Each structure stands twice: as C-alpha cells, then as structure tokens.
Structure 1
Amino acid sequence: MRRDDRDDPFDDIFSEIERMMEEMTGENVDISAQPNDAGFGADAHFSVHEEGDAVRVVGDLPGIEKDDINIRCDGQTLTVAATTPRREYEERLELPARVDEHTASASFNNGVLDVSLERLDTSADIGLE
C-alpha cells in the first residue's frame, strides 16, 4: 500500500471545485476563505412568497438589532442592509414580481424581519379609439 504524503487529502477536490466555479462565474473563487462583509452569511435566511396581490419577504436575522436595519426597494429588488459594531451586511433579493415600493410595510420581532409589498399589475389595458 502506497502512503500519500500530502497534508490535505481533499486538496485536489477543493481545487477542482474552485476551478469549476471560476469557469462558471468568471471570477476568482476561494471556497476556503472566510466570508466577506457582503451578505448576512449562513446565519441569515430569507424566503420570498407571492400571496395573491402581495409579495412577502421573511428573513431571520439573528444578532441584529432593529435600529441597525436599513431596507430599500426599487420595485424589483429588495435590499436589506445592517451595520453592527463588528460587520456590515447587505442582502439583495430579486422579487418574483414588480411591486409598488411605496406601499411597503415591515416589522421586526425577535430577529425575524417581515416585509410586505403590493404587486403592480403586470400589464395595462390599452383601449382602442
């Protein structure tokens, strides 16, 4: 039986995964690196639901205080950002439908963010003269 003197037996696997990710994204990817400041990381989870004439976004934000949260919407993308003494976070969520951002309402209770937005009509009726 031949002994393998490499330090990490999974090094080839990780190198191949990084190569494939770089090929798909066109970016230099290092899966062994620590997460950067963009995004909430593995601790946060967001889900987007269509509920009739509304779009609802629910996010778990553990360790975040209400006053640290900033929410923006441009009608198609909802951006949730937070600044804590240790990090800055930002998560951009593509919404499944165009919404009226001026009708948005949000609540934050026990680390759970709940945002509701009214959908805009997808098309307009055009009358003939």
Structure 2
Amino acid sequence: MRRDDRNDPFDDIFRELERMMNDVMGGGVEINDAGFGSDTHVDIYETDEEIRVIADLPGVEKGDIGLTCDGKSLTISAANDHREYDERIALPGQVDEHSARATYNNGVLEVMLSRADGSAAIDVD
C-alpha cells in the first residue's frame, strides 16, 4: 500500500498508518523458500494470557504435523503428497513452551501458548 499524494497535510499521519499496517500484515511470520507459500494462511492472535497461532495446512494428515517451540518462536513442519511445509514463526512475546496445546481439524491447525511470567526475581546475597 502506497499513497502518491505528497502535498497532503496529513501525509505524515498516513505514512505512519501505512507503516503500522505493513508491520501488521507482514510482521511475525518469516517465509522460507520451503515454507507454506502464498496458498497457506497464518494468523497470530494475542491476549494478556496467551498467544494463539492458526495455520491452514490443506491436505495434511494430523500425524504428519510436527511442532516445536523455544519460547520465542514456533516451528511448524508438515508434509503431504504434493509438498512439505517448514515454517518458523516469530512469536510476538515470550511464551512458556511447556504450556503449548494444539488442535487440528479440517486442515486448520490451532496452537495455544501461555505467555511466560515476567522476569524472574534475583536475590542478591
């Protein structure tokens, strides 16, 4: 999205809105050459308590999906007869990777991750 009207008094505001929209539309998902591609959609939703990642994996069997999380990113690996999916998704916040729950229904994968508690307190001796 790019505006061509440079004499607009609101141009700075529109540029900032454009920058924020581009961040929202492209932020968080790193596309790899062997990754999902344009026919697969990934959404990330966040609340104060959890982060949810929803990915379309058409034609993939539940048993062919692999998920790993390191607390900062989620990796989704899957395969079907036509292609392989291997996607690393940068999460918008730190999560407790041991809290992950996932469901897969009709080609839609949903992964729920609880946010990690704040920084740990360190006692000084």
For this structure pair, what is the TM-score category when the shorter chain's length is used for normalisation? 0.5 to 0.7
Query: Out of 54, 58, 69, which is 2:54 matched to?
Result: 58
Spell out structure 1 runs of 4+ moving beyond 6 A: none
In structure 1, stretches of 5+ residues that fail to align are 1-35
Specify the SS of the correspondent of 2:77.
strand
Partner of 2:103: 107
In structure 2, stretches of 5+ residues that fail to align are 1-31
Structure 2 counterparts to residues 86-101 of structure 1, below 5 A: 86-101=82-97
TM-score by length of 2: 0.67
Identity across matched positions, percent: 53
| 2:40 maps to amino acid | A
How far apart in 2 are the matches of 1:84 and 1:63? 6
Summarize the Cα distance change of 1:103–1:92 in structure 2 as closer, same or farther, 3 Å threshold: same
Higher strand share: 1
Kept after mapping to 2: 8 A contact 1:37/1:88: no
| 1:89 maps to amino acid | Y
| 2:108 maps to amino acid | V
Kept after mapping to 1: 8 A contact 2:59/2:80: no
How far apart in 1 are the matches of 2:111 and 2:85? 18
How far residue 103 of structure 1 moved from its aligned partner, in angstroms, is: 0.7
